[in-house]
Amino acid sequence: MRRVLSRRDLVLYGLVILTPTAPYPVFGIIQQESQGQAAAGYLVAMVAMFFTAASYGKMAAVFPSAGSTYTYAQKGLNPHVGFLAGWAMILDYFLIPLLSVIYASLTAERLLPQVPQWMWAIMFNGAITAVNLRGIRMTARASSWLMAVMTGSAVLFAALAVRYIVATQGVPGLFSWRSIQPAEGFSMSPLLLGAGIATLSYIGFDAISTLAEDTVDPRRDIGWATVAVCIVQGLICFGTAYLAAIVAPDYKAFQQPDTAILDIGLTIGGQAMFGLLTLVLLVAGLASALTGQAGASRLLLGMGRDGLLPRRIFADIDERTATPVRSILLMGAVSLLGSMVMRFQLAVELLNFGALTGFILVNLSVVNHYYVRARERRVWGHLVFPLVGAAVCGLLWLNLSGKAQLAGCGWLLLGTAYLALLTRGFQSAPAALESLEEFDADSG
């Protein structure tokens, strides 16, 4: 790979992945689950992501390769833990297209309520799977355009919200403590639950570390860019949630919390803003589903080639289209069935379960590699900060819903059993995970 990426390139890349519209799909859910503390929840999540981003930067400095979470856990802790970190990552890659299809279907149903959600799910899954079977990579080529559309939408939303607040409440209305701390008072458990869900808006910042082999100076720039992206994304999310809470302070009145941001758009900008937000959410959701399905199918292909999954099923490539047809069809089936039976909120929390698991392990990898093995006893950078990051991520992990924890732990237990089978009862190291590294580098 050629080392051509600068700090600016890395920051732009990270913001494209996270998108400035990330709070839109989950604002209503966070506001209800946190009992009106969505803006504060985003700040708590940003603190956790700040320390975790610093840990990613430190591990990228010592292991500047295309690998990410699993590589750092493998090198910083041990191969078995690294395998489980990769297994948790697989859960995320499976859920990203499923989550995107669910939300795109919910959004389309708001636009055309005559068509039920399940029919939208069938149409979207069919279209996405058909495109991937042909090997078309339209989303990668259109990423810059999508970023411009979403950034413009976010700026317009903020401007219209400010105009509405000033028109209805005057300039003092822009400075509302109640949009951060509601009249009911502070409540820690709902705040942490909301912060755990808010983590979804930050998931993907770790992909910056997968560009280490393309960066001019990865030891210097990866960590800087990762922290910068987390801070900028946190401010965007906080600002969006803060303004939305002032416009719609009665979170208990949300009839459809999954799409509450559309109702707020209708309030501040009429049908035109409602239509624009719907279009932006549909485009972003389908683009994410398209790339997510393509990436997950490649992950299955790579694992099949390495013998981590049955080769006869997953290592097959269609000679005419040069695509892993069976893996794509499997991912299409998983997304279709999941969108029929799984609620959007559960999918969000389960996705966060996998991400937070990986974040905890990366923070602990910093402590073990630097402070314990290398004996670089920098108390703050190599001990306190990563432990704080692990502790906050662990607190958010513990405050996910019982259903998400049960399903996520079931997935980890399945991975543990599979690992025991591969390593003959943990007596040897697991098979190499080069397929995961290749996938993570290419999917970014």
Mean pLDDT of 149-177: 88
Distance CA 170, CA 162 (A): 10
Q: What is the mean pLDDT of the chain?
A: 79
Structure tokens at 304: 């099949």
Q: How confident is the model at residue 207 (pLDDT cuts 50, 70, 90)?
A: low
Do you know the residue count of the chain? 444
Q: For the chain, list the domains and their CATH numbers.
A: 7-289+327-408 (1.20.1740.10)
Please give the span between the terminal C-alpha atoms of the chain, in angstroms, as a whole number: 15
Kindly indicate the confidence band of residue 433, based on its pLDDT and cuts at 50, 70 and 90.
very low
Separation of alpha carbons 74 and 388, rounded Å: 21
For residue 183, what are the contacts with CB-CB under 8 A and spacing of at least 6?
none
Mean pLDDT for 167-180 is: 86
- What pLDDT was estimated at residue 360? 92
Q: Is the pLDDT of residue 440 over 80?
A: no
The pLDDT, as a whole number, for residue 322 is: 65
pLDDT of 402 over the 90 cut:
no
Q: Which two tokens stand for residue 264?
A: 């707020």
How confident is the model at residue 413, as a pLDDT? 92
Confidence of residue 72 (pLDDT cuts 50, 70, 90): confident
Tens-digit pLDDT profile for residues 268-312: 988 888 888 888 877 777 767 776 676 667 667 766 766 666 777
| Average pLDDT of the residues in 89-110 | 79
pLDDT at 65: 61
CA neighbor of 179 nearest in space, from 39, 75, 293: 39
Give the global pTM.
0.74
CA distance 227 to 297: 30
Residue 243 is encoded by which pair of tokens?
């303004």
